[in-house]
Amino acid sequence: MRAYKSSAGRTVIFGILVLCFIVTSCTQNSPLHYKQLKYSKLGDIQIPEVQQVTLTNGMRLFLLEDHELPLISVSARIRAGSIYEPPDKIGLAAITGTVMRTGGTVSRTGDEIDEQLELIAASVETGIGLNSGSASVSVLKNDIDVGLDILADVLMNPAFREDKIMLAKIQHQSSIARRNDDVGSIAAREFEKLIYGSDSVYARHTEYATIGSISRDDLVAFHKKFFGPDNMMLGIWGDFDTDIMIRKIEKAFEGWEKVDKQLPKVPSVEYEFPKTVNMIRKDDVNQSNIYLGHIGGLRSDPDYFALILMNRILGSGFTSRLFKNVRSREGLAYSVFGIYSANYDFPGLFYVGCQTKSEATIKAIRAMTDEVRKMTESEVTDEELALAKDSYLNSFVFNFDTKGEIVGRLMTYAYYDYPLDFLQKTKENVEKVTKKDVLRVAKKYLRPDEVQILAVGRPEDFDEPLSVLGSVKEIDITIPVPKK
Amino acid sequence: MKHKIRKLRYLVIGVMLLLFVMTTVAPKSARAQDLLTFEKRMTEFTLDNGMKFLVLERHEAPVVSFHTYADVGAVDEVKGITGMAHLFEHMAFKGTRTVGTTDYESEAKALALADQAFEAMKLERRKGDRAHKVKLEELQKQLEQAQEEIQKYLVHDEFEEALVREGGAGFNAYTSQDATQYILSLPSNKIELWMSMESDRFANPVLREFYKEKDVVMEERRLSTESQPVGRLLEEFLAIAYKAHPYGEPIVGHMSDLETLTRSEAEMFFKKYYLPSNLTVAIVGDVNPKQIKELAEKYFSRIPSGPKPDPVETVEPPQLGQRRVIVQDPAQPFVLIGYHKPNINHSDNAVFDAITEIAGIGRTSRLYKSLVKEKKVAVAASGFPGMPGNKYPGLFLFYAVPARDHTNQECEEAIYAEIEKLKTEPVLPEELAKAKTRSRAGLIRQLDSNSGLASQLTFYDVVTGDWRNLFKQLDDIDKVIAEDIQRVAKQYFTNKNQTVGIIDTTITEK
Q: How far is B183 from chain A (nearest CA, A)?
A: 14
Q: Looking at the structure, tell me whether residues A248 and A285 fall in a common domain.
A: no
- When pLDDT is averaged across residues A275-288 and rounded to a whole number, the result is 95
The pLDDT tens digits for A282-325 are: 999 999 999 999 999 999 999 999 999 999 999 987 789 998 88
Domain extent, residue A230, equals 51-252
pLDDT of residue B507: 64
Q: How far is B229 from chain A (nearest CA, A)?
A: 7
A395: closest chain B residue by CA? B167
B188, A39 contact by CB (below 8 A): no
Q: Shortest CB distance from B61 goes to which of A37, A318, A397?
A: A397
- Is pLDDT at B19 greater than 70 in this prediction? no
Q: How far is A287 from chain B (nearest CA, A)?
A: 6
| A324/B192 Cβ within 8 A | no
Q: Looking at the structure, tell me whether residues A198 and A320 fall in a common domain.
A: no
Q: Is A397 an interface residue toward B (CB < 8 Å)?
A: yes
Chain B contacts in chain A segment 121-160 (CB below 8 A) = 121-123, 125, 138-140, 142-143
Q: What is the pTM of this model?
A: 0.91
Boundary of a domain, candidates A206, A236, A252: A252
Q: How far is A37 from chain B (nearest CA, A)?
A: 7
CA–CA distance, A336 with A325 (Å, rounded to integer): 10
- When pLDDT is averaged across residues B418-441 and rounded to a whole number, the result is 95
| B98/A397 Cβ within 8 A | no
Chain B hits for A173, CB-CB cut-off 8 Å, are: 403-404
Q: Looking at the structure, tell me whether residues A183 and A299 fall in a common domain.
A: no
Q: Looking at the structure, tell me whether residues A229 and A305 fall in a common domain.
A: no
- Is pLDDT at B5 greater than 80 in this prediction? no
Among residues of chain A, what percentage have pLDDT more than 90?
85
CA–CA distance, A47 with A69 (Å, rounded to integer): 19
Query: Residue A329 — pLDDT band, cuts 50, 70, 90?
Result: confident
Q: What strand order describes the sheet that includes B180-187?
A: B42-46, B52-57, B279-285, B63-70, B180-187, B169-175
- Is pLDDT at B10 greater than 80 in this prediction? no
The pLDDT tens digits for B335-360 are: 999 999 999 999 999 999 999 999 99
Query: Residue B11 — pLDDT band, cuts 50, 70, 90?
Result: very low
**One-letter amino acid for residue B398 of the chain:** F
Query: Residue A262 — pLDDT band, cuts 50, 70, 90?
Result: confident
Number of domains composing chain A: 2
- When pLDDT is averaged across residues A224-236 and rounded to a whole number, the result is 96
Chain B contacts in chain A segment 6-25 (CB below 8 A) = none
| A120/B437 Cβ within 8 A | yes
Q: Shortest CB distance from A69 goes to which of B21, B98, B444?
A: B444
The pLDDT tens digits for B268-293 are: 999 999 999 999 999 999 999 999 99
The pLDDT tens digits for B133-186 are: 999 999 999 999 999 999 999 998 899 999 999 999 999 999 999 999 999 999
- When pLDDT is averaged across residues B380-406 and rounded to a whole number, the result is 96
Query: Residue B445 — pLDDT band, cuts 50, 70, 90?
Result: confident
The pLDDT tens digits for B454-505 are: 999 999 999 999 999 999 999 999 999 999 999 999 999 999 999 999 999 9
The pLDDT tens digits for A129-153 are: 999 999 999 999 999 999 999 999 9
Boundary of a domain, candidates A211, A237, A252: A252
| B229/A393 Cβ within 8 A | no
CA–CA distance, B74 with A305 (Å, rounded to integer): 43
| A29/B196 Cβ within 8 A | no
- β partners of residue B281: B53, B68
CA-angle at B504, arms to B82 and B421, nearest 5°: 95
| B189/A394 Cβ within 8 A | no
Choose between A431 and A263: higher pLDDT: A431
A35: closest chain B residue by CA? B162
Neighbours of B400 (CB within 10 A): 28
**One-letter amino acid for residue A142 of the chain:** N
Q: Looking at the structure, tell me whether residues A230 and A89 fall in a common domain.
A: yes
Q: What is the CATH number of the domain that holds A365?
A: 3.30.830.10
pLDDT of residue A327: 85
Q: Strand ranges (DSSP E) for B266-342?
A: 279-285, 323-329, 334-340
- Is pLDDT at A337 greater than 70 in this prediction? yes
- When pLDDT is averaged across residues A104-109 and rounded to a whole number, the result is 97
Chain A hits for B448, CB-CB cut-off 8 Å, are: 68-69, 71, 402
CA–CA distance, A2 with A262 (Å, rounded to integer): 65
- When pLDDT is averaged across residues A371-392 and rounded to a whole number, the result is 96
Interface size between A and B, measured as CB pairs under 8 A: 248
| B212/A330 Cβ within 8 A | yes
Least confident of A27-31, A301-305, B105-109, B179-183: A27-31
B190: closest chain A residue by CA? A39
Q: Looking at the structure, tell me whether residues A319 and A210 fall in a common domain.
A: no
CA–CA distance, A405 with A133 (Å, rounded to integer): 18
pLDDT of residue A483: 62
| A319/B160 Cβ within 8 A | yes
CA–CA distance, A344 with A79 (Å, rounded to integer): 14
Boundary of a domain, candidates A198, A220, A252: A252
pLDDT of residue A331: 85
Residue B461: C-alpha distances to residues B52, B173, B336, B454, B465 (Å): 10, 19, 31, 11, 5
Is residue A46 domain-resident? no
CA–CA distance, A102 with B364 (Å, rounded to integer): 12
Chain B contacts in chain A segment 328-387 (CB below 8 A) = 328-335, 355-357, 387
Q: Is A317 an interface residue toward B (CB < 8 Å)?
A: yes
The per-residue pLDDT of chain A, averaged, comes to 92
Q: Shortest CB distance from A328 goes to which of B157, B227, B379?
A: B157
pLDDT of residue A263: 80
The per-residue pLDDT of chain B, averaged, comes to 91
A461 secondary structure, DSSP code? G
Query: Kind of pairing, strands B52-57 and B42-46?
Result: antiparallel
What are the two backbone dihedrals, phi and then psi, of residue B154, each rounded to the nearest 5 degrees? -80, 135
Chain A hits for B443, CB-CB cut-off 8 Å, are: none
- Is pLDDT at A12 greater than 60 in this prediction? no
Q: Which residue out of B48, B86, B156, B164 would a mutagenesis test of the A interface target, given it has the greatest number of A Cβ atoms within 10 Å?
A: B164
- When pLDDT is averaged across residues A441-467 and rounded to a whole number, the result is 97
Q: Which CATH architecture group holds B323-505?
A: 2-Layer Sandwich (3.30)
CA–CA distance, B435 with B362 (Å, rounded to integer): 11
Q: Which residue out of B2, B156, B165, B302 would a mutagenesis test of the A interface target, given it has the greatest number of A Cβ atoms within 10 Å?
A: B165
Query: Residue A484 — pLDDT band, cuts 50, 70, 90?
Result: low
Q: Shortest CB distance from A39 goes to which of B171, B190, B332?
A: B190
Q: Looking at the structure, tell me whether residues A86 and A230 fall in a common domain.
A: yes
CA–CA distance, B321 with B323 (Å, rounded to integer): 6
**One-letter amino acid for residue B170 of the chain:** G
